[in-house]
């Protein structure tokens, strides 16, 4: 069974850096892309970006371009979401989700989701 397992909850101070992870199992990691989705408290879903480990292509939502970095290490079937300087407004739940590879994405949808990682940024 395909599964995405995310790293645990984080509590950080403004200005600190952070990297959260998403590990895939039960499927061929390189045949799928990994998207990151933000959900702020009490709000809806926002697509942040996607990485396709097979060809390392990465796309970002204009809203998140330059604010975060998405990367992946296919040797350990893990994708990452990184911030260099957190803000209080980054407080949210972050989900990873996989989508079968296609260029461009959008053909198969995000069919398996991680359990989410809560990030709290507070002084």
Enumerate binding residues for other proteins (CB under 8 A): 35, 37, 44-47, 49-50, 59-63, 95, 97, 104-111, 113-116
Q: Considering the complex, what minimum distance in angstroms separates the CB of residue 9 from other proteins? A: 13
68 neighbors 86 (Cβ within 8 angstroms): no
Nearer to other proteins, 88 or 107 (CB): 107
106 neighbors 96 (Cβ within 8 angstroms): no
Q: CA separation (Å) from 110 to 12, 47, 77, 98, 114?
A: 29, 11, 17, 5, 11
Nearer to other proteins, 50 or 86 (CB): 50
Closest Cα partner for 25 from 90, 76, 86? 76
Q: Considering the complex, what minimum distance in angstroms separates the CB of residue 13 from other proteins? A: 26
Rg (CA), the chain: 14
CA distance 12 to 86: 8
Q: Considering the complex, what minimum distance in angstroms separates the CB of residue 99 from other proteins? A: 9
Nearer to other proteins, 62 or 75 (CB): 62
Nearer to other proteins, 78 or 99 (CB): 99
């Amino acid at each position: 069974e395909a599964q995405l397992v995310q790293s645990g909850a984080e509590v950080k101070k403004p200005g600190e850096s952070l990297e959260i992870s998403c590990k895939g199992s039960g499927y061929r990691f390189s045949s799928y892309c990994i998207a990151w989705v933000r959900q702020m408290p009490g709000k809806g879903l926002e697509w942040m970006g996607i990485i396709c480990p097979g060809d390392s292509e990465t796309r970002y939502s204009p809203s998140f371009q330059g604010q975060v970095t998405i990367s992946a290490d296919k040797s350990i079937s893990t994708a990452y979401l990184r911030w260099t300087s957190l803000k209080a407004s980054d407080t949210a739940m972050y989900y990873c989700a996989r989508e079968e590879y296609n260029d461009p994405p959008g053909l198969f949808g995000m069919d398996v989701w991680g359990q989410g990682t809560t990030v709290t940024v507070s002084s």
